[in-house]
Amino acid sequence: MNDDPAPTKRAIMEATYDALRERGYGDLTIQAIADEFEKSKSLLYYHYDDKEALLADFLEYALDEFMAEIRVGEHEPVEQLERLIDLMLPETIDEDRYRVQIALLELRGQVPHTDVYRERYAEIDRTLTERVASIVERGVETGAIRDVDVELEAELLVSALVGMQTRRLSTYEEFPIERSRAALYEHVERRLVAPAA
């Protein structure tokens, strides 16, 4: 057994990703995740009793990975907003990623029955909105972004991003991804970017 928990956790999370991709949420069992896990199955069962606890950790892990991609202050605020759009709404989405994302949409529908999912989604929502607000706030401070209401702007942007993801997942190839991306880019460029002095 490995003493460092990080590689083990990463391997468990990757097995969970693979199992979600293969089976979706409805048919997922902890056994199916164990089957994708390359290390000892007893190690997985040692860490997790049930799939709810494992998936709650998976949501947290995915959030941490995502947040590491959009750290405040690493780039210019406007560039960061555009990067966020590209990360959440890439021009193309491959079959694997589609399958995992739709499995997570099914999981979202489980929140009334599973408190730990609801807590995680509340955390994801809060963390993402606060991050976007921090980016916009920094832009207002540096003068790159107009003097907008930071909180309201973050609500609007996060909602538009989540809405486009939800619409895209449920309409798939019919979703107007180019027009949606253009709508967000136009919003950032015309409504947020401060006019050149």
Member of 43, 169, 193, 194 binding a copy of itself (CB under 8 A): 169
Q: Which is nearer to a copy of itself, 143 or 163 (CB)?
A: 163
> What x/- string results for residues 122 through 151 when contact with a copy of itself is judged by CB under 8 A?
x--xx----------------------x-x
Each as own residue / partner, the long-range contacts of residues 44-47 (CB below 8 Å, 24 or more positions apart, any chain) are 44/12, 44/15, 47/8, 47/9, 47/12
* Secondary structure letter of residue 193 according to DSSP: B
Q: Name the strand (E) or helix (H) holding 162.
A: helix 150-171
- Size of interface with a copy of itself, in residues (CB under 8 A): 52
Considering only 26, 91, 92, 197, the residue that binds a copy of itself (CB under 8 A) is 26
* Of 57, 58, 87, residue with least CA distance to 70: 87
> Do residues 18 and 10 lie in contact, with contact meaning Cβ atoms separated by under 8 Å?
no
Binding site for a copy of itself (CB under 8 A): 24-26, 98-99, 102-103, 105-113, 118, 121-122, 125-126, 149, 151-153, 155-156, 158-167, 169-172, 174-176, 179-180, 182-184, 186-187, 191
